[in-house]
Structure 1
Amino acid sequence: MICLWKQSDTGNDWSLFSTRHLIKPQLSSTPASSKGRWIRSISWRPLHLDGECRQLAVAYQDCSIVIWDTFTGQSVHTITGHDKPVVAIRWGGTDLIYSASQDRTIRVWRSKDGVLCRTLNLHGHWVNCLALSTDYVLRTGAFDPACAQLVKTVPVLSKDPEITSKLVETAKSLYEKVKGSNPERLVAGSDDNTLSLWQPEVDKKPLSPRMTGHQGVVNDVKFSPNGRLLASASFDHSVKIWDGFTGQFLATMFGHVQDVYLVSWSSDSRLVVSCSKDSTVKVWSIGEVRRWNQEALTTSEEQRKKQIFASDVAGKKRSNSSRVYQRKRHLLHDLPGHSDAVYALDWSPDGQYVVSGGKDRILKLWRA
């Protein structure tokens, strides 16, 4: 069951709006398609590529990826090639589809015909999660938090071609602004306790060696909305922060006492929220990390090497700048309230709310 909730005019209360809103029949190519075909991940084609938002990529337990036309309920084509279940997919801004599988590989596909472009091999165990440096802007489309009041006046659901064209152009402009002149970057997290960073559109070699430091499974990883930082969640009870361009380790956030399942960034890239098996939701201040990172990006390669400090695991001596930085980062808020493990977490695109849900069957909405 999917529930839709409606906010009151005052903004303080929420009421159940609907328990189902099925626009089209379920997407199934054959009567038996639901049997043994668990859905593991889904991803919409970006707005700037598909103004009608009609194509959806679905990853299945049976190792396949199906592109669906959500208007007709029919499959466009099926992508095959993985040997084990596909657990994560991303539809990129250049119309490529990225998939991660339990066969230890990441694959890059051409969405229009399902042709395999390249296979990325680095991990020694299942690849659990993927994130793109442009994920935030692909998710928000034509919505820009900086002018949210103006966006509210646009009839997004209108079928007027001129309005659709305007939304597509706005989404394309925002995407290109975030992406810049370089290819999209892709990060992956694995059961081998490591992460990897790529530019899969142009190269099958990683941007850096495997990103080590976690002592447990990496369950989730997210780029900051500005694409400069990465946050990863692990079963080692920690959240780690990394440089989004080089993969260099920057910091560890300790506070959870059990597995950390998910992380999510605030729209201004200054805060990270995490959820855990320990029933808590925690908000971390990353402001000092962001400023340090911006300063590091302006220095020469030699200066950068001197500034970047080693991970906790390596046990190497940190630089003075590292010590200053460490004193300034901190846990901003601890949000108790759930009575059991928290499995779902997200920060609203406008940065105003955090929503969490878990094993206690309760959905909580936090005002940021």
Structure 2
Amino acid sequence: MQNQASSLYLDTVIGFNGTVNTGLHLHPNQKHIIYPLGSTVVIKEFENLGVDEFLSGHNGPISCLAISKTGRFIATGQTTHMGFKADIIIWDFEERRLLHRLNLHHAKVECLSFSEDEQLLVSVGGRDDNNITVWYVQTGKPVCGTTTTALGTCVQFFHNDRSTFMVAGKQMCKVYTIDFVNKRLDFIDCNLGQVKRIFSCLLIDDEDSYAYMGSTTGDIICVQLKGPKNFKFMGPKEKIVQGVESLCFSPSGKSIFIGGGDGSVTVVAKDTLLKISSTILMGGVTSICARESDNILICGTNQSVIYAMKGSGKLEATLIATCHSHRINDVCYPREASEIIATCSINDIRVWNVLKSKELLRIQVPNLECNCITFSPTGNAIISGWSDGKIRAFGPQSGKLLYVINDAHKILGQKKVSGRLVGVTAITMSSDSERIVSGGSDGQVRVWQVAKSSQTLVASMNEHKATVNSIHIRRDNSECVTSSDDGTCIVWNLDKFVRANIIYAPTYFRQICYLNDESQLLTCGSDKQVTYWDAYDCTAIRELREAEEDEMNALDIDYDGQYFVSGGKQKVVNVWHYDNGEIVQQGLGHAGNITKAKFSPCGRFICSVGEEGGVFIWRPHFHP
């Protein structure tokens, strides 16, 4: 059934994985920036970040990325589970296609580097692999390899010698030479004397005279490469707080840009490592690249922010792209606006224009996690549930706090909380915008009468024994249905505030939805199956057993009831035909668990969000 499914077209991605060291690259054509997001490689035009292209082929999070000198090839490595092979993929940039899949490393590929003539690729495995392998780029075949006793974290080929490269890492610094005749790697240890460091990044100058290695201690170690491989000098005098994360030569080659774990970008002289200037960005600077044509510096941080700044004079940063840096818990559309979405995560809510990949509004509440959100039917408020047990309403344009419902749900005194969310975990609003129905980790379902000046508790219904995960309300506001981790879904009468019906199953119910005509219910959960239920008597109509290979978290039905979308720990977005019960399209791109997926009001788009912090916009084939 799944083998017959076609690929779901990925239209837009909002996100940037800044935790991959040196993951953000400027293509040698000076027009595109390239970076990993989950298991996808994102290619964007630097001058128009709304234009996206994608390279998909990995089945796990991308851990490293390298680009050849002319930009013809891109290489990416990934992480996977212990004992499994971690793939390396070589891509053809011009044709945007996969050339070779290389799989000798286990668990993780730590770093990659192309030779200057683009004929060779060197890869270094992670701590559970510790292998160094050299590959032919044209054929994808290995040349030779060796094993190291220490973890290598960064690698680079020499500029003027295709047979020599350098690896630095955990208290190691070695220069390797490829013996093509005997198919082996010979190495020389660099003599650092009493200096012991864990290196995180590496630069070699154009003449192959010196190597500059950034350390987690916060300094740069310079080693001479011509003649004896000896320690030369170190700096800067004031160490970089939280370590050196990334390095980049200036276009003139006379200075070095240092990205620090504290968010600092520091400029030092290449010959002396003396500090020239610095600035502070939001998040540790894990990637730096310079555009030679106009001396623009592009920086990526581990808070999923991309900045641009002039590489000379006073360093003044301009934010050019941003996204969530933690898992996204929920996503919602306004009732009649398919180009606008709202997402929520730890510390904030964000409103996006998905057609332009642009952030319109950011609402921050420090040290708290937003678990669930919804737009009011009138579109004049964003209603949100938080980990402190409060419901907060914000203006969708201004971000102004409209009102707060304190102690909406308990966060203390619970014997056991199921799931990962605490506080208000599910929320929806009646079609007349007069009532809010909320669910919490305390198992309670509560109804609130809301107005501009007052918010009053109308009823509290306490039959669930675990976290309430989702709530859907009928269009006439007479009933709502809730799903819970206690293995029940309950239909509530919203006039009498009593249970009207109940569904039992040996599963953690994650999502429940009404069909468009409200004659049926659709559920998914930890039992890996999708179940159709009669909305009148709550009897099971149909079960799609083993619908996915792992737990399912996300479920939504399109506006005309012909298709529905699901997702979960399998990390695949599945589009199903409702009547046939077959998968018709599959979307690959998420590297973390999919937490929510929604059809747009027009039905032309599907928005999925996940634990990697990315927002993926898909275009199903049945809505061109």
Q: Shorter-chain TM-score: what band?
A: 0.3 to 0.5
Higher share in helix: 1
More strand, by proportion = 2
TM norm structure 1: 0.45
Q: What TM-score do the two structures reach when normalised by structure 2?
A: 0.29
**Bigger Rg, structure 1 or 2:** 2
